[in-house]
Amino acid sequence: MWLGFEVNPSRLVSLGSLVFEIAMICVLFIPKVKNIKFPQRACDKAYGTTALWYNVAWELPVAIQAFAMAFVFFIMYGIFWLWTRRQSYEVPSPSLEPFFEVLDSEKNSTTRRENIDLISWTERVLFDQYPNFMNQTLFICIVTIAQISALPNFNYVIESKDCFSILLIAFGLFRELPRKEANKIKIFAIRIVVFLFFAGVWLARMLFGIFLVPNSADWIILFIACSAASWSWALFSASNMKIFLPAVTVFLALVITEANIWVISIGDPRSFDFGSVSVTADNATGSFFVIEMLTIITWIVCWLATSAWPWQRTLTFDKFNMGLWKRGHFLKMFWIILGPHILWIQASNNSNQSHPTDMTFGQIFALIVSVVTIVTLLDEAKDVKKGIWIAVLKSDVMYYEEVEQPKHYAPQPGLGLS
């Protein structure tokens, strides 16, 4: 009760501060709003304050890309809705679902599964398509890289997403030996080719620029989308989704991947400064962290297009929310918590171009509050059980959601979403 009493007002205050900041940005940026003119010409000429205000507007790239993702989602939902409502369309036959233990009960139950989460769906697709090549370590690395797509990309000489991806890919490819029944020479050859491909992507983007090829995380999501298309070809029949679904998902994946290369041009709030004459050389440079997260919508659309929409089912918000975050712990942390905080801290730093050595009272107070928060978080973290941390690192179900299932299990598509 007390937790809800403390958390809900805090959420309202945070939301209110965000609304207030957006309102201030609109007042300052939109010309002739209530005849307000800011900053003054003398200040603008001396300090370049117009450009500084654009540094603070870190919400603009996030809001634009989030709106684009929502727009793509509803467009794709509409396309699949129209396709499944045709008279000649045949709904795929359902399969039996596994049973699981009710979370709020101490006894076993035969209640049907409520959702197919994003990570379990990815696990099923990859292990079905590549039974001899895929292993649990490689799968964990792949879904971790896909979740890293939600993070702002550190872009200075080398890129953080490419560096994290190449390290995780190398670990996932060579951590486990091939299975006994597999052709070891063939598997190792494929692993080496995959590693060299991602090493080439990293090297090409570092030497020739970021506008030539997608980053490594985008390649991973494109790989998942193509795997889902191939999986759907074998799963469905020509009377429903056998041809339509692979064609649409691959086309979407290619378009979104290409768009994500160029979205970096609006991934930095400084790009919204339309050539102020007072911008100094320091102001004209780009930020270190830029947001480019469009490819996440490809992953989400492929998940729903193969597990819900062919059966003419629409997820409620609660089921969609649970399916997205049930095992996507990194995705939730990067997308909702860590990503916005990185951009906010960078915006605060960019708005102070002089970088004074003397700390103001506000900076000292903010530092004290941050330290107190960190101490509180560390105090809570030490009480978290080891199994929870392992579940987070492995993108697995939390211990209180565990069910007895075979290794590499993931539910059948289209089930439990009605």
pLDDT, the chain, mean: 77
pTM: 0.80
pLDDT value of residue 360? 57
- Asked if residue 406 belongs to a domain, the reply is no
**pLDDT one-digit tens code per residue, 71-117:** 999 999 999 999 999 888 888 876 533 333 333 333 333 333 444 78
Q: What is the mean pLDDT of residues 346-357?
A: 62
CB distance 262 to 213 below 8 Å: no
CA-wise closest residue to 348 among 85, 115, 58: 58
pLDDT value of residue 113? 42
- Asked if residue 103 belongs to a domain, the reply is yes
Residue labelled with tokens 């090409």: 204
CB atoms within 10 A of CB 196: 10
- Asked if residue 27 belongs to a domain, the reply is no
Spatial separation of the C-alpha atoms in residues 91 and 408, rounded to whole Å: 27
Phi, psi of 155 (to 5 degrees): -120, 90
Spatial separation of the C-alpha atoms in residues 395 and 138, rounded to whole Å: 12
- Asked if residue 19 belongs to a domain, the reply is no
- Asked if residue 12 belongs to a domain, the reply is no
Higher pLDDT, 155 or 293: 293
CB distance 117 to 322 below 8 Å: yes
Spatial separation of the C-alpha atoms in residues 303 and 327, rounded to whole Å: 14
Domain region containing 319: 39-358+395-401
Domain count, the chain: 1
Spatial separation of the C-alpha atoms in residues 198 and 162, rounded to whole Å: 8
Q: Could you write out the DSSP letters of every residue in 143-167? A: HHHHHHTTSPEEEESEEHHHHHHHH
